[in-house]
Amino acid sequence: MCGIVGYLGTAPAAPVLIDGLEKLEYRGYDSAGIALMSEGKLAVVRRKGRVAELAFARTMQGDLGIGHTRWATHGAPCERNAHPHRCGKICLVHNGIIENAASLRAACEARGEAFSSDTDSEVAAHLIDGLYRKEGDLLRAVKGAAGQLVGSYAFAVLAEGERQIVCARMHSPLIVAEGADGVFAASDLAAVQAEGRTAYVLEDGDFARLTDGGVELFDGALSPVAREAVPLGCEEPAPDAGAFRHFMRKEIDEVPQAVQNSIPDLSKPEFSDLCKVLCQTQYLHIVACGTAYHSGLCMKHAAELFARVPTQVSIASEYRYADPIVPPRTLTIAVSQSGETADTLAAAQLAKEKGSRLLAVTNVAHSSLTRLADFVLPTHAGREVGVAATKSFNAQLAVLYALAARLALARGRRAPTLAGLPTLAEETLVRCGRIGAWTPYFQGARSVFFLGRGADRCAALEGSLKLKEISYLPSEGYAAGELKHGTLALVDNATPVVALACDRALADKTMNAVHEVYARGAPVFLVTPFEELYHAREVTASVLLPRCEPAFSPILSVIPLQLLAYHVSLALGRDPDKPRNLAKSVTVE
C-alpha cells in the first residue's frame, strides 16, 4: 500500500504535500516523490528512501500538486519506480494494484509507447494520456482509463496546464477535503486534518474533481453524488516518541493504559443492540491478518472456554477465497488495527454477503471497516506509529476478552473479570527490566522458536511475528506438544527457544518440550507466573509474570516478547519503527 496526497489552493503546495506524506509514511516508505504545477508547467521530483529525502523540494514553486510515498508492489524500490509517474501531459500517483497491468502495458507497447518504469501504475498514466489527447477532458479520461483496470486504485491525476486534480477510488482508501486554504486529496484523514476543513470519504467507483471552486464528487457514471461530510478537527500533533528512542518502545510502555482505555463497558446503552445479537449468537467467526489474527486466536480460546461458543478464526486472505460456510446466527468479528487492511475488508464484506452480522474491532474511527460493520467495538490504544503492532494487540485482547466474558454471561456461565489486567500489565513491564540482557543469545541465532500450549501458543505466535518483522531473524511460533513430531530436528545450540507456561494445567507438559530442546543444546528462555518453573535448571533466563486468569495470560505474556523483539532489532542495527519491506496498513491484497 502507499500513501497519496494532492493539494490545490492559495498556499505553496510543496510543504503541504510533503507534510501530508510524512503523516502517511506508515503506509510505505521505500521511495517518495511530488509533482508541482507552476504557471502551467509540471515539475516532478522523486527519491528512493523516506519522505525526508524530499526536504530539498520544500522550496519548489507551485500552488498545485500531488505526492506519493511508496510500498513497492510492482517494481523494485528505486527512483525510476517512484511516483509520480508521467506520460505526455499526464502525471499521477496511485495506491493499489492493477492486476491486468501486464496485458494493458503490452497493448501500449504494441502501439509504440515507451515505459520508463516497471510499475503497474505507469500503465494507468499511459491509458489516461491516450484518452486525454483524444477527449481533452481529464475527468472523462480518468474515468475511461479506470474502466479498463482490474484491481484496486486510489488515483490523484494532473494534466499539465490544467488547474485541477482528478481523483478516483476503487478498493483503496481515498478522501478529499476542502477548506479556506484550498482543496486536498489523501489516503486518510490524518494527512489533511485541520480546523475548519470538511472531508468527504470517496466510495468504490467514485470520482472527484478538485478546483479552485472546491470539491465535486461523481459516481461511476460521472453523475454528481453526495458523500458523508466529515468535519475535521484540529490538526493532530505530530506523533512524538517523547523520552523514548523509538515509537515502538514508547507504545509498549503504553500497553497498560491502552488496556485500561479499551476494556469496554458492555452494559452501556450504546452496546444494547450488540448484546442482543450476542445472546442469539450460535457461532463466532473471526477474520483478521497478522497480529490481529493472533488476537483472534486468543479470543477463540477464551470464548470456547468460558462461553462454549464454537469459534472459527480465519486468516482473512484465505477466508475471502474459501467460499466459507456461514451458518445462521453467526457473528463475524473483523479485527483490524487500521480498519483498512484489504484482505480483512474483503473477508468482512464476504461474511456479510453470506448473511452474517458483522462486528468490527478496530483502532481507527471512520475507517473503512467501521463503515462496513453492523457494530463497532473500538480499541482505544491511541495512535500506533510503530509498524509492529504492540499496544494495539493488547487493546484488541481487552475488547475481545470482554466480549468472551459477555458471551459467557449471556449463557449463564462464569465470566472472569478483566478489571485487574491494566495493573498487572504495569507490573509485568516492571518485571521485564532485564529482557535486554537476553539479546546476545538471539543476535547470532540461526532461527528462534516460541513454544506454548493453549493460550500460550497464541502468544507464542505473536512473539514470533514480532521478532521476525523487526529483526529479520527466522522464527516460528509452535505448539509445544507438536515440536517432537518433526520440527525438533531443527533444534540445536543455534536455535534459542522462548517457552511460555502460564496455565498451570498445561505448564508441566510445556516443560517437557523445554527438556527436549535443552537436551539438544538450545538455550531456553521462560515466561511464566510460576516460581517453581522460574528456577528450573534448564532455563538460561526467565521472566516471572504476575498471576492472572490463564485464558487471559497472553495480554501479559506478550509484553516480554514485544520487548525481546525490540532489543534484538536494535542489537542487529534494524529500525524497529520502520522495518524493511513492511508498512503499517496493508491496503492491497
Active site residues: 2, 584
Q: How far is the CB of 438 from ligand AGP (least distance, A)?
A: 20
Residue with smaller CB distance to ligand AGP, 462 or 549:
462
- 48 near 79, Cβ under 8 Å? yes
Q: How far is the CB of 297 from ligand AGP (least distance, A)?
A: 13
Q: Does 290 help bind ligand AGP (rule: CB under 6 A)?
A: yes
Q: How far is the CB of 183 from ligand AGP (least distance, A)?
A: 28
From 87, 167, 387, 461, residue interacting with ligand AGP (rule: CB under 6 A):
387
- 181 near 11, Cβ under 8 Å? yes
Q: What are phi and psi of 451, to 5 degrees?
A: -120, 150
Distance between terminal CA atoms of the chain? 9
- How many Cα neighbours within 13 Å face the side chain of 281? 33
Q: Does 388 help bind ligand AGP (rule: CB under 6 A)?
A: yes
Region from 102-110, 259-267, 302-310, 330-338 binding ligand AGP, contact rule CB under 6 A? 330-338
Q: Is 569 exposed, middle or buried (0-12, 13-18, 19+ CB in 10 A)?
A: buried
Q: How far is the CB of 362 from ligand AGP (least distance, A)?
A: 8
Region from 66-74, 88-96, 337-345, 544-552 binding ligand AGP, contact rule CB under 6 A? 337-345
Q: Which amino acid is at 45?
A: V
Q: What are phi and psi of 352, to 5 degrees?
A: -65, -45
Find the radius of gyration of the CA atoms of the chain.
25
The grid coordinates listed for 525 are 528462555
Q: Does 337 help bind ligand AGP (rule: CB under 6 A)?
A: yes
Angle separating helix axes 554-571 and 255-262, nearest 10 degrees: 150
Residue with smaller CB distance to ligand AGP, 97 or 501:
97
Chain position carrying cell 459477555: 406
- 278 near 410, Cβ under 8 Å? yes
Residue with smaller CB distance to ligand AGP, 29 or 200:
29
Residue with smaller CB distance to ligand AGP, 260 or 562:
562
Residue window 439-478: x/- pattern of binding to ligand AGP, with contact defined by CB under 6 A: ------------------------------x---------
Region from 83-91, 251-259, 382-390, 417-425 binding ligand AGP, contact rule CB under 6 A? 382-390
Q: Does 344 help bind ligand AGP (rule: CB under 6 A)?
A: yes
Region from 70-78, 96-104, 181-189, 332-340 binding ligand AGP, contact rule CB under 6 A? 332-340
From 81, 119, 314, 341, residue interacting with ligand AGP (rule: CB under 6 A):
341
Q: How far is the CB of 49 from ligand AGP (least distance, A)?
A: 21
Q: Does 31 help bind ligand AGP (rule: CB under 6 A)?
A: no
- How many Cα neighbours within 13 Å face the side chain of 294? 25
Region from 59-67, 383-391, 451-459, 526-534 binding ligand AGP, contact rule CB under 6 A? 383-391
Give me the helices (H) in 354-483, please.
368-372, 391-410, 421-431, 439-443, 455-471
Q: Does 399 help bind ligand AGP (rule: CB under 6 A)?
A: no
Give the residue nearest to ligand AGP (CB): 290
- 220 near 142, Cβ under 8 Å? no
Q: Does 389 help bind ligand AGP (rule: CB under 6 A)?
A: yes
Pairing of strands 3-9, 31-38: unpaired
Q: What are phi and psi of 506, to 5 degrees?
A: -115, -10
Longest Cα pair distance anywhere in the chain, in angstroms? 79
Region from 87-95, 135-143, 151-159, 286-294 binding ligand AGP, contact rule CB under 6 A? 286-294
The grid coordinates listed for 378 are 473500538
d(CA 533, CA 531): 5
Q: How far is the CB of 276 from ligand AGP (least distance, A)?
A: 27
Structural element, H or E, at residue 353: helix 342-353
Q: Does 122 help bind ligand AGP (rule: CB under 6 A)?
A: no
From 190, 292, 435, 502, residue interacting with ligand AGP (rule: CB under 6 A):
292
Q: Is 453 helix (H, G, I), strand (E, B) or coil?
A: coil
C-alpha of 310 from chain center: 27
Structural element, H or E, at residue 512: helix 504-518
Residue with smaller CB distance to ligand AGP, 191 or 287:
287
Q: How far is the CB of 465 from ligand AGP (least distance, A)?
A: 6
Residue with smaller CB distance to ligand AGP, 131 or 389:
389
- 583 near 26, Cβ under 8 Å? yes
d(CA 148, CA 394): 43
Region from 130-138, 180-188, 386-394, 409-417 binding ligand AGP, contact rule CB under 6 A? 386-394
C-alpha of 405 from chain center: 27
Q: How far is the CB of 220 from ligand AGP (least distance, A)?
A: 27
Q: What is the DSSP letter of 59?
A: G
Q: Does 291 help bind ligand AGP (rule: CB under 6 A)?
A: yes
- What is the secondary structure of 266-290 as a DSSP string? TTSGGGHHHHHHHHH--EEEEEE-H
Sheet containing 90-95, strands listed edge to edge, beginning at the edge strand earlier in sequence = 85-87, 90-95, 153-159, 165-170, 207-211, 214-218
The grid coordinates listed for 59 are 522550496
- 366 near 376, Cβ under 8 Å? no
Residue with smaller CB distance to ligand AGP, 388 or 480:
388
Q: Does 338 help bind ligand AGP (rule: CB under 6 A)?
A: yes
Secondary structure of the chain: what % helix, strand, coil (to 5)?
40, 25, 35
Q: How far is the CB of 335 from ligand AGP (least distance, A)?
A: 7
Residue with smaller CB distance to ligand AGP, 347 or 536:
347
Interacting residues with ligand AGP (CB under 6 A): 289-292, 336-338, 341, 344, 387-389, 469, 585-586
